[in-house]
Structure 1
Amino acid sequence: MCPRFHVDNVPCWLVTTYVSRSTQWLPNPVVDRSKLERGNNNGRPDELSGIYLDVEDIRQLKCGDVALLKGAARWEGNKYNSLAHRSPTPKSGETHLLLTLDFVSSD
C-alpha cells in the first residue's frame, strides 16, 4: 500500500479492491507534478504538500471496481499524463484485500 500520491513507472496496471476502501486518485489538471517527484514536497503530508489544492479534488474508486490505470513508463510524449494515486489511510483494525497486476514487457 502506498499512502502518498505518486505515479507508477509502469506502462499501465490493473487494480481492484475486494475488501475495504479503494484507490484514491487525482484528475490530471489539479496535480502539481513537480510535487510528486521524490523530495520536492519537503516531507510534508499530501494535504500540505501542494500536490493538490482542494481535498474535493480527490476521487476514489469503489470497492469492487476494476480499473486500468496509466503509468509513466513507455508513453513517449505523454509521460506526464500518468495517474497520480494513493492508497486510502487505513482505519484502526481495518482489513484490506487488494489485487494489482502490472503490465510487463520484454522490451
Structure 2
Amino acid sequence: MALFCEAYAPAHSLGQDAWSVFGTGPEALLQILRPEVHLAVWHRSLPRSIAPGCARLAAAAPFRATAIGPPDAVVEAILADLPCAAPLDLLLDLQDLAACFAAIIGRDTVQLRLSGVDNDSCRRFHADAVGLRLLCTYRGAGTEWLPLAGAEAARDAAAAPPRANRLPAGSVALLKGEAKGAGRGCVHRSPPRGARDPARLLLTLDEPGRIPL
C-alpha cells in the first residue's frame, strides 16, 4: 500500500472550494499534501473477516492502547494493552495504515492509538492541535465533519451546529490540524452517542511528539 505515496495522484472528487477530496483508492489520501485541501478520504469497505473481532474489541470499551514506533513494530507494541485478542486482518490493516501515514508525513515513526469508545466526550466540533491526523472507525458510527476549516469556525459551529457529514465505518480520513497554520484545521467531532448505540472502535494516527500518550 505504501507504494502509492511515491507520487501525487489526481483527485477523484473535490468538495466545496476544493478543500475536501474523496476517492475509492488509497491514492486519494495523497491529496492532503495540497495546501488547499483540509480533508482527504479514502472510501473503502472492510473485509467481513474483520467484523466479529472488531465487535468483540468494541464491546470491551472503554480502553485505549497506544504506542510510538516504526510502522512494522508499533502494532505489536499495543497488543498487551488490548482487552481481548484482535483479528489478524485488523492487525495487518493497522500496520498498513501506519506505514501509509508514515510515508505521507515523511517520518520513520508514528504515534498509534486504538480506542474502544463508549461515550461522546469529544462531541463538540473542533479542529485538532496537530499537523496531520489519520482516523478510521472500524466499528460503530464514523467521525462527523463540516465543510469548514479552522478553530474559529469550530467555535461558531459549536454554538449553532449545522448539519454534519459522517464518515462511513472503514473509510480512512486524513485531517489537517491547526498546527499546519491557523484557520486550516478540519472541523470535526465524535458522533453523538445514544444510550443504545454500540461502542466505537477507533484508530488514530498522529505525528510522534504532537500529542502526549
Same fold? TM cut 0.5: yes
Normalised by the length of structure 2, the TM-score is: 0.37
Partner of 2:194: 91
Unaligned runs of 5+ in 2: 1-120
Residue deviations 1:49-83 (CA, integer Å, cap 9, x gap)? 13x5x42xx1111000011110011x2xx420210
Match of 1:11 in 2: 131
Q: CA deviation at 1:32?
A: 8.2
**Identity, % of aligned pairs?**
36
Aligned residues of 1:28 and 1:81 also touching (Cα < 8 A): no
Match of 1:26 in 2: 146
Cα distance in 2, alignment partners of residues 32 and 8 from structure 1: 8
RMSD: 2.6
Equivalent position to 1:62, from 163, 168, 174: 168
Query: What amino acid does structure 2 have at the position aligned with 1:26?
Result: L
**Aligned equivalents of 2:182 and 2:151: distance in 1?**
14
After TM superposition, the runs of 4+ consecutive aligned structure 1 residues lying more than 4 A away are none
**Cross-structure match for 2:185:** 82
Q: What SS class does the counterpart of residue 203 from structure 2 fall into?
A: strand
1:104/1:79 CA distance change after superposition, 3 Å = farther
Name the CA distance, whole Å, in 1 between partners of 2:170 and 2:185: 22
Cα 1:18/1:105, change in 2 over 3 Å: same
Distance 1:91 1:15 in 2: 21
Q: Structure 1: 5+ residue runs without aligned partners?
A: none
TM-score (norm 1): 0.69
| CA offsets 1:18-59 (integer angstroms, 9 cap, x no match) | 001100011027x782662xxxx7xxx93xx13x5x42xx11
Q: Secondary structure at the match of 2:208?
A: coil
Q: Which has the higher contact order (CA 8 A, sep 6+)?
A: 1
Query: Could you tell me which residue of structure 1 aligns to residue 204 of structure 2?
Result: 100
Alpha-carbon distance between aligned partners in 2 of 1:28 and 1:35, rounded to the nearest angstrom: 8
Cα distance between partner residues in 2 of 1:11 and 1:99: 17
